[in-house]
Amino acid sequence: MKKFPLADGPTVFGHLFYTTAMLYDRREQAPFPPVNIYCCRDKVLVQALLPGINLDAVHITLGNDSLILEGCVLRRKGHYLHEERYSGRFRRSVVLGTPVLPQAEVSLRNGILQIELKRRT
């Protein structure tokens, strides 16, 4: 088996893909929060991953054919040895792709925000 020299980290086909010296920047986690949109026969279901946030800290706006999620994930105080979770203000706009009614059923359980919208017929 042939061994390849490491150049500040492992390489694949001569390309560096990770180093321990990489600085993880929370602002680069765009878009946040990650969102799944399911389109059913009579409704649209939007699920957003929002761990560590309460429902009253999320502002939801329904536009023409888009949904806007806004809020703030608070950063805990202390000395971090490693940090990857997002913290700070966020604003996420997603296109629904179908007309919906302005009423919604909203819940937040186990860090998953669920928004159920009825499709306009």
Q: Is residue 81 part of a domain?
A: yes
90-117 tens-digit pLDDT? 999 999 989 999 999 999 999 999 999 9
Q: Is residue 22 part of a domain?
A: no
Greater pLDDT, 25 or 73:
73
Q: Is 48 exposed, middle or buried (0-12, 13-18, 19+ CB in 10 A)?
A: buried
Q: Is residue 13 part of a domain?
A: no
6-24 tens-digit pLDDT? 444 444 454 444 444 444 4
pLDDT, position 19: 43
The number of folded domains in the chain is 1
Q: Is residue 46 part of a domain?
A: yes
pLDDT, position 41: 92
Tokens of 66: 């888009």
Q: What is the CATH number of the domain that holds 43?
A: 2.60.40.790
Q: For residue 41, what are the domain limits?
A: 27-119
Q: Is residue 50 part of a domain?
A: yes
